[in-house]
Amino acid sequence: MNIASIHNHPIQYGSPPSGKNFEMLGFDFEEFELISSKNELWILESRERVFSAEEINEIRRTANNYFDLVYDEVNLEFEKGYMVMDNLEKVYGDLLLDYLNNNFENVKLTRRYLSD
- Please give the pLDDT value at position 11: 67
* 20/15 Cα distance (integer angstroms): 13
- The residues of the chain scoring below 70 in pLDDT are 1, 10-14, 74-85, 116
Strands 32-36 and 4-8, by their bridges, are parallel
43: buried, middle or exposed (CB in 10 Å: 19+, 13-18, 0-12)?
middle
Check residue 5 and give its pLDDT: 84
Contact 24, 109 (CB under 8 A): no
- Angstrom distance (rounded) from CA 7 to CA 36: 6
pTM: 0.83
